[in-house]
Amino acid sequence: MIYIGYLIVFGCCLTAVLGLFTSWVDRKVTARVQYRVGPPVLQPVFDVIKLLGKETLIPDGASKLTFLAAPVVGLSSVILVSTILWMNVIHPQQTFLGDLIVVLYLLTVPSMSIIMGGFASGNPLASIGSSREMKLILSYELPFVLAILVPVIHSHYSIRLGDILNMQSGSGVIIGNFSGSIAFIVALLCVQAKLGLVPFDMPEAETEIIGGPFVEYSGAGLAIFRLMKNMLLFVMPFFLMILFMGGIRFDGIHIFNALLKYLGTVALITVIRNTNPRVRIDQALRFFWGPMTVLAIIAIILAYRGW
């Protein structure tokens, strides 16, 4: 039962609030970069509520059930991931072995739900967007897995997030190592692609394929996808913080530290997204399978040497 409590309090509510807030930070920073004023704090919440009030359009030729179920499946997996991550931060000892792999696999489910939703809508533009999303998953998955092995090596081959956290609270954060910082850069760029942000937003590409998989979504379905993406915007940096920066600790000055780390990561993501143009899918593929993979392998070799 305690898990269900965690799920509702931390996984659902807190993550949703923080996710919506992060989305506001992202939009505000973007606005300031572009010399605009930017939206008020509650704007992301208003957006979701507004969408809930709109009617749901189902395109002709769509598979209705798959079309409507896809956002829900994506959202539930994000909730589950955030619950696992929160439990790790609150009780690093009580988690189960191999949760790192579970988190990694669950994190592909949101992307998969976007793909399925796009396919189910029966729209050619959505099909193009979804196929790009799939190729994007393929491209970042390889360096992402390699980068995540660096903390695993540093914590003596443990694939339990709790052990990785304990190791960091004992002997310093992983990003402090030479190998850790390289791996962090690789992982951050992969997260950028996982979140579908510029320069890796070709699956959506509003100016080209009108939002890709989301082109047919409206009303509640779109609201859930929005919420899911906003929650991911919190969950992904949070995951990176656990792996590379020692997570969050709830005593005294550490809370302030955690906030700084978190906002720093988010700011980095936002700045990357605001200073780069969109690349083509084959360029992204080359980028991730080429330089990023090499960089990740270098990080692993350095980690083996203990740097």
In the complex, minimum distance from the CB of residue 263 to other proteins, in angstroms, rounded to a whole number:
27
- Work out the angle between the directed axes of helices 219-244 and 161-171 (0-180°, nearest 10): 40
In the complex, minimum distance from the CB of residue 268 to other proteins, in angstroms, rounded to a whole number:
25
Whole-angstrom distance, CA of residue 248 vs CA of residue 242 = 7
In the complex, minimum distance from the CB of residue 225 to other proteins, in angstroms, rounded to a whole number:
10
202 in contact with other proteins (CB under 8 A): no
The whole-angstrom distance between residue 10's C-alpha and the CA centroid of its chain comes to 17
Choose which of 25, 134, 186, 302 interacts with other proteins (CB under 8 A): 134
Whole-angstrom distance, CA of residue 50 vs CA of residue 205 = 23
Place of tokens 């829900």: 72
Which amino acid is residue 172, in one-letter code?
Answer: G
In the complex, minimum distance from the CB of residue 187 to other proteins, in angstroms, rounded to a whole number:
15
Site for other proteins in 204-263 (CB under 8 A): 210, 215-216, 219-221, 223-224, 227
Binding mask 263-292 for other proteins (x = CB under 8 A): ------------------xx--xx--x---
Binding mask 74-93 for other proteins (x = CB under 8 A): -xxx-xx--x----------
Which amino acid is residue 203, in one-letter code?
Answer: P
In the complex, minimum distance from the CB of residue 269 to other proteins, in angstroms, rounded to a whole number:
22
| Buried residues in 221-241 as b, exposed as e (16+ CB within 10 A) | bbbbbbbbbbbbbbbbbbbbb
Tell me the window of 17-25, 94-102, 165-173, 269-277 that interacts with other proteins (CB under 8 A): 94-102
DSSP code at position 200:
S
Closer CB to other proteins, residue 29 or residue 129? 129
141 in contact with other proteins (CB under 8 A): yes
125 in contact with other proteins (CB under 8 A): yes
Whole-angstrom distance, CA of residue 238 vs CA of residue 133 = 23
Q: Residue 99: name the closest of 230, 3, 224 by CA.
A: 3
164 in contact with other proteins (CB under 8 A): no
Q: Residue 202: count other Cβ atoms within 10 Å of its Cβ.
A: 25
The whole-angstrom distance between residue 136's C-alpha and the CA centroid of its chain comes to 14
The DSSP code sequence of 127-148 is HHHHHHHHHHHHHHHHHHHHHH
| Buried residues in 88-112 as b, exposed as e (16+ CB within 10 A) | bbeebeebeeebbebbbebbebbbb
166 in contact with other proteins (CB under 8 A): no
In the complex, minimum distance from the CB of residue 223 to other proteins, in angstroms, rounded to a whole number:
6
Tell me the window of 110-118, 235-243, 249-257, 269-277 that interacts with other proteins (CB under 8 A): 110-118
In the complex, minimum distance from the CB of residue 239 to other proteins, in angstroms, rounded to a whole number:
16
Tell me the window of 17-25, 112-120, 172-180, 247-255 that interacts with other proteins (CB under 8 A): 112-120
CB 150 within 8 A of CB 179: yes
In the complex, minimum distance from the CB of residue 228 to other proteins, in angstroms, rounded to a whole number:
9
Choose which of 146, 161, 198, 236 interacts with other proteins (CB under 8 A): 146
| Buried residues in 156-185 as b, exposed as e (16+ CB within 10 A) | eebbbbbbbbbbbeeeebbbebebbebbbb
Closer CB to other proteins, residue 39 or residue 122? 122
130 in contact with other proteins (CB under 8 A): yes
Site for other proteins in 33-52 (CB under 8 A): 51-52
In the complex, minimum distance from the CB of residue 255 to other proteins, in angstroms, rounded to a whole number:
27
